[in-house]
Copies of this chain bind each other. A is one copy, B any other.
Amino acid sequence: MKKTILVFGGISIAILLLLQISKWSMWSFGSSGFHWVFIVGPAFLVLGFVLAKLFRRPSIGAYRPVQLPKNEVNLSSQEFKVLSLMAEGLSNLEIAESLYITESTVKTHVSNVLSKLNARRRTEAVKIGRTLKIIP
């Protein structure tokens, strides 16, 4: 709340300053076409807004709509086990030891699971799996 007040206070002061400057400029420049400020200024202001939005990092996943992969996700037996153990918070190594396979194989399975669920991280895979009610 204080922040907001300070922000708007700062903006107000800035506007006041700009007005003051414009007055001073009027006086010092005479009739050299100062009205440009009121045309070009807002235009560039808007441009700045737009550019700021554009330059903002695309944030690929933050608001990405979770597109559910085609109704039927066919995880294989092992892939399902791996996903379940991922949801339990196990690391690849721990999953490997649980299933008596090597970590390399687990990585392969994890990659396949991520691909099939259209996820990019194991946490996302777990979330999607829960959404699809594949795992509790």
Determine the distance from Cα of A97 to Cα of B61 in the docked complex, in whole angstroms. 10
State whether the Cβ of A41 lies closer than 8 Å to any Cβ in chain B: yes
State how many residues of chain A have any CB contact under 8 Å with chain B.
Answer: 71
Q: How many angstroms from the CA of A29 to the CA of B19 in the assembled complex?
A: 10
Contact flags (1/0) for A1-44 with B, using CB distance below 8 Å? 11111111011111111110101111011011110110011111
Main secondary structure of the interface of A (DSSP, over half): helix
Interface string of A98-136 (1 = CB under 8 A from B): 100000000000000000000111111111100000000
- Least Cβ distance of A100 to chain B in Å? 11
A68 at the binding interface (Cβ < 8 Å) = no
CA A36 to CA B39, docked complex, whole Å = 10
